Amino acid sequence: MSTITETRTGTTAVRIDDISKVFGRGGGAVTAIDGMSVQVGEGEFLALLGASGCGKSTLLSLVAGLECPTTGSVDVGEHRVAMMFQEAALFPWLTVGANIEIPMKVNKVPKAERRKRVAELLDLVRLTGSERKRPHELSGGMRQRVALARALAQDADVLLMDEPFGALDAMTRDILHDELERIWRERSLTIMFVTHNVREAVRLGDRVVLLSSRPGRVISEFEVKGERPRRIDSALIAEQAAVITDRLREEVSRHA
Amino acid sequence: MPETRSRGDAVQGLDALETQPERGGDERSVAETAGRIWAATWPKLAAVALVLLAWQAVVWSGWRSEWVFPGPDRVLPTLFGEITTPEFWEAVRVTMRRAFIGFALALAVGVLLGLAVSRFKPLRVAIGSLITGLQTMPSIVWFPFAMLLYGISESAIMFVIVLGAAPSIAGGLTSGIDYVQPSLLRAGKVMGLRGTQRYRLLIIPAALPMFVTGLKQGWAFAWRSLMAGELLVIINQQNSIGWALSQARQLNDAERLLGYIIIVLVIGILIDVFFNWADRSLRRRWGITR
Query: Model confidence over B8-35: pLDDT tens digits?
Result: 778 888 888 877 665 555 566 788 888 8
Q: Which residues of A touch B286 (CB under 8 A)?
A: 92-93, 136
Can you say whether the dihedral through the CA atoms of A145, A147, A150, A156 is positive or negative? negative
Residues in chain A: 256
Would you say A60 and A158 are in contact if contact means Cβ atoms under 8 Å apart?
no
Q: Which residues of B touch A134 (CB under 8 A)?
A: 285, 287
What is the chain A residue with the closest CA to B11? A175
A28: burial class by Cβ within 10 Å (0-12, 13-18, 19+)? exposed
3-state helix, strand, coil in chain B (%, to 5): 80, 0, 20
Q: Assess whether pLDDT exceeds 90 at residue B259.
A: yes
B197 Cβ under 8 Å from any chain A Cβ: yes
Would you say A165 and A143 are in contact if contact means Cβ atoms under 8 Å apart?
no
Q: Assess whether pLDDT exceeds 80 at residue B95.
A: yes
**Residue A10 pLDDT:** 65
For each of the domains in chain B, give its residue range(s) and CATH number, in order of start: 72-286 (1.10.3720.10)
**Which residue did the predictor score with more confidence, A171 or B228?**
B228
Helix axes A140-152, A170-186, angle to 10 degrees: 20
**Residue A114 pLDDT:** 93
User: Considering chain B, what percentage of its residues have pLDDT values greater than 70?
Assistant: 93
**Residue A30 pLDDT:** 84
Separation in Å, CA of B1 to nearest CA in chain A:
13
Give the H or E element holding residue A193.
strand A190-195
- Tell if the CB–CB gap between A66 and B192 is shorter than 8 Å: no
Q: Characterize B172-196 residue by residue with b for buried, 16 or more Cβ atoms within 10 angstroms of its Cβ, and e for exposed.
A: bbbbbbeebeeebbbbbbbbbbeee
Q: Which of B18, B20, B191 sits opposite A106 (nearest CB)?
A: B191
Q: Assess whether pLDDT exceeds 50 at residue B290.
A: no
A64 Cβ under 8 Å from any chain B Cβ: yes
Q: Tell me the β-bridge partners of A45.
A: A191
For A41, A117, B156, B246, the CA distances from B242, given in Å and listed in that order, are: 77, 59, 15, 6
Give the whole-angstrom CA distance, residue A126 versus residue A117: 14
3-state helix, strand, coil in chain A (%, to 5): 40, 25, 35
- Rg (C-alpha) for chain A, rounded Å, is 18
Residue B9's contacts (CB-CB under 8 Å, 6 or more residues apart) are none
- End-to-end CA distance of chain B: give it in Å, rounded: 41
pLDDT tens digits for range B114-140: 999 988 888 888 887 888 888 888 888
Would you say A190 and A44 are in contact if contact means Cβ atoms under 8 Å apart?
yes
Q: Which residues of B touch A93 (CB under 8 A)?
A: 205-206, 208, 285-286
Q: CA A185, A218, A82 angle in degrees (round to 5)? A: 40
Give the whole-angstrom CA distance, residue B12 versus residue A127: 8
**Residue B104 pLDDT:** 96
What is the chain B residue with the closest CA to A83? B190
Residue of B262, B250, B246 lying closest to B238 (CA atoms): B246
Whole-structure pTM value: 0.81
Q: Which residues of A touch B12 (CB under 8 A)?
A: 126
**Residue A78 pLDDT:** 86
What is the chain A residue with the closest CA to B22? A137
Q: Which of A134, A137, A175 sits opposite B11 (nearest CB)?
A: A175
Within 10 A of B200 (CB to CB), how many other CB atoms are there? 12
Give the whole-angstrom CA distance, residue B9 versus residue B170: 51
What is the chain A residue with the closest CA to B289? A136
CATH number of the domain located at residue range(s) A9-69+197-256 in this protein: 3.40.50
What are the helix (H) ranges across chain A? 2-8, 56-64, 96-106, 111-124, 140-152, 170-186, 198-204, 235-253
Q: Is A22 left (phi over 0), alpha (psi -120 to 50) or beta?
A: beta
What is the chain B residue with the closest CA to A99? B201
Residue A28's contacts (CB-CB under 8 Å, 6 or more residues apart) are none
Give the whole-angstrom CA distance, residue A64 versus residue A194: 14
What are the helix (H) ranges across B120-240? 121-136, 143-150, 154-178, 182-190, 195-198, 204-232
Separation in Å, CA of A188 to nearest CA in chain B:
18
Give the whole-angstrom CA distance, residue A247 versus residue A236: 17
- Tell if the CB–CB gap between B285 and A179 is shorter than 8 Å: no
**Torsion (CA) B89, B94, B95, B98 in degrees, nearest 10:** 150
3-state SS class at B269: helix
**Residue B232 pLDDT:** 85
Residue of A15, A25, A12, A48 lying closest to A204 (CA atoms): A48
- Cis omega before residue A229 (within 30°)? yes
- Rg (C-alpha) for chain B, rounded Å, is 26
- Tell if the CB–CB gap between B286 and A93 is shorter than 8 Å: yes
B208 Cβ under 8 Å from any chain A Cβ: yes
**Residue B6 pLDDT:** 66
**Residue B119 pLDDT:** 86
Within 10 A of A220 (CB to CB), how many other CB atoms are there? 14
Give the whole-angstrom CA distance, residue A31 versus residue A42: 29
B202 Cβ under 8 Å from any chain A Cβ: yes
Query: Residue type at A245?
Result: T
- Tell if the CB–CB gap between A136 and B4 is shorter than 8 Å: no
Give the whole-angstrom CA distance, residue A125 versus residue A149: 7
Separation in Å, CA of A246 to nearest CA in chain B:
33
Query: Residue type at A252?
Result: V
Q: Which residues of B touch A177 (CB under 8 A)?
A: none
pLDDT tens digits for range A138-147: 888 899 999 9
B14 Cβ under 8 Å from any chain A Cβ: yes
Q: Assess whether pLDDT exceeds 90 at residue B165.
A: yes
A132 Cβ under 8 Å from any chain B Cβ: no
**Residue B28 pLDDT:** 67
Give the whole-angstrom CA distance, residue A242 versus residue A222: 12
Q: Assess whether pLDDT exceeds 60 at residue B52.
A: yes
A169 Cβ under 8 Å from any chain B Cβ: no
DSSP codes, A213-229: SSSB-EEEEEEPPSPSS
Residues 175-234 of A with CB under 8 A from B: 175, 178-179, 182
Query: Residue type at A214?
Result: R
**Residue A118 pLDDT:** 93
Would you say B272 and B278 are in contact if contact means Cβ atoms under 8 Å apart?
no
Query: What's chain B's average pLDDT?
Result: 87
Q: Tell me the β-bridge partners of A221.
A: A209
Residues of chain A whose pLDDT is less than 70?
Answer: 1-10, 53
